[in-house]
Amino acid sequence: MIGNPMGQGFAETWLKAFQQFQNMDLGNAAGQAVPPIDVPQIKFTPEKLMELQQNYVRDATELWNQSLQANPSLKDRRFKGDAWAQNPLASFAAAVYLLNSRTLMAMAEAAEGDSKTKNRIRFAVEQWMAAASPSNFLAFNADAQQKAIETHGASLAKGVANMLQDAKQGHMSMTDESLFEVGKNVATTEGAVVFENEFFQLIEYKPLTDKVHEKPFLLVPPCINKFYILDLQPENSFIRYAVSQGHRTFVVSWRNPDASMEKKTWDDYIEHAAIEAIHRVQEITGQDKKGGQINALGFCVGGTILTTALAVLAARGEKPVSALTLLTTLVDFSDTGILDVFIDEAMVRYREMQMGQGGMLKGQDLASTFSFLRPNDLVWNYVVGNYLKGETPPPFDLLYWNSDSTNLPGPFYAWYLRNTYLENNLVQPGKVTVCGEKIDLRKLDLPVYIYGSREDHIVPIGGAYASTQVLPGKKRFMMGASGHIAGVINPPAAKKRSHWVRDDGKFPKSVDEWIAGATETPGSWWDDWAGWLKGHAGKQIAAPKAYGNGKQYPAIEPAPGRYVKAKA
């Protein structure tokens, strides 16, 4: 028989378990306990429960009757293989699982409570159901069983070997990592390291044009992963594209923190990395002597760091950047999407006690969190393929980069959590002090190109768009198709996806209102951005013949440098 998950007793048990989980007493290394979360009472109306129960019984009866005549039709891609269709028991188990999943998700939607708690319930149910899929277990996975029979058990042996190898390397393989090497077939754009300190290396790239724009171009990637997402392969390298457009291009390559950096703070990263990089680019290119400016781009957390650094410099009376580009960046943290389920006072206080004065957030912990935001695609898909079927995942440069994780200093991470995701302090003028200066983003009166990805689950499109309501300068907002990475790394030659823009200069409060007035154009947004940046890059001058600036900034080592090769 099909079990009925919809009784009132089940609902009460489920909610009680959820509330106990929310109120767990989390202790830190010193034995301190985080105050329990005050979880509001969650209820279901009897009418809604009755409706859900009736729908479940009706669908279960229909499924049973269908299974007596033929195997149930399975539309979920996890159960698309012929082996599922040919195995009545497996296909019926999968159909029951899908029915229960739909019902539990409907139950999560029907819960009465505040929006944050409902989002947490929804997220917990999604994780639970993703993990409980019959496809994740050899005893129920018809495809894996069929392959084991066809290979006389070789697939199972290879699956065990894959599991042992992944345990040895400390993370699940998403691609054949043996086929990639940083500096050999990813991160290959020609350049040299021209400056370094304990936080970052500054890479300058070899010009691809006889002349370059007068204003140099600095890219600040996120420090929560490695810069070569912007330089994967020559055909999809954003860095190479920028160089080909005639920009003298520099990039910050973050150091992968070790124990020597466990006390580094947000202020340290602003002062000794972002601001330092800006000043060094000015000095190397002679812009400091001319009183000139540079152009700068920040990606994801790199954009938050760069914007904060510019606000610090503005408070000091400096305006070193002519035009700013922000890619999938949060400045206003009002809309943080699914990540909001992890953030509350108790969680942030726990992290502050755990590592606010020193310690390290391991890169793999952060990578696992992001993977479980899309559990079927980025976790269980590989459990099935790697371990149950004994397959080697195909080569994919983006997933190789995704597995190349980085650590974060605890004090940096704790400050970031409280002042952005929890309290949203950066957009409150004078609320937060960074590097001794009170931050006021209203002082950043410069042209800004703001990009957001429509299906981004890390920086929601509304969160990216919110910067238009904060930054006072002349703005251009661009929405691209796809997600956090694929939307950004979309070279024109690929002729993929679409982008949306509106040229009336209007930025209504709601991103939905903006989208309603936007025009869709097939293909990449890169050329639109290049045209915009060209208008802020100054006159053309002869391209430099050498890296750096003579004896003061000689080439230290070839790009991509050694910092990016350090493993977490």
For residue 91, what are its two tokens? 């296909």
For the question of residue 300 being annotated catalytic, the response is yes
Instruction: Give CA–CA dist 333/426, Å, rounded.
Output: 9
Contact 273, 252 (CB under 8 A): yes
Q: In what order do the strands lie in the sheet with 249-254?
A: 519-522, 498-501, 475-480, 448-453, 321-327, 294-299, 217-220, 249-254, 200-205, 191-196, 557-558
Q: Give residue 38's identity as a one-letter amino acid code.
A: D
Q: Measured between alpha carbons, how far is residue 363 from residues 292, 368, 454 in Å?
A: 38, 9, 27
Alpha-carbon radius of gyration of the chain:
26
The packing angle between helices 8-22 and 46-69, to 10°, is 110
What is the C-alpha to C-alpha distance for residues 374 and 539, in angstroms, rounded to an integer? Answer: 46
The CA distance from 349 to 34, in Å, is 7
Name the residue type at position 494. Answer: A
Q: Please name the residues in contact with 102: beta carbons below 8 A apart, sequence gap of 6 or more.
A: 59
DSSP conformation letters of 356-370: TTS-EE-HHHHHHHH
Helix (H, G, I), strand (E, B) or coil at 60: helix
The phi and psi torsions of 158 (rounded to 5 degrees) equal -65, -35
The tokens describing 450, both together, are: 């703001």
Q: How far apart are CA 314 and CA 428, in angstroms?
A: 16
Task: Kindly report the backbone phi and psi dihedral angles of residue 378, in degrees, each rounded to the nearest multiple of 5, phi listed first.
Answer: -110, 0
Side-chain-side CA neighbours of 557 within 13 Å: the count stands at 9
- The length of the chain, given as a count of residues: 568
Separation of alpha carbons 33 and 21, rounded Å? 15
Catalytic residue among 95, 218, 300, 446: 300
Residues annotated as catalytic are 300
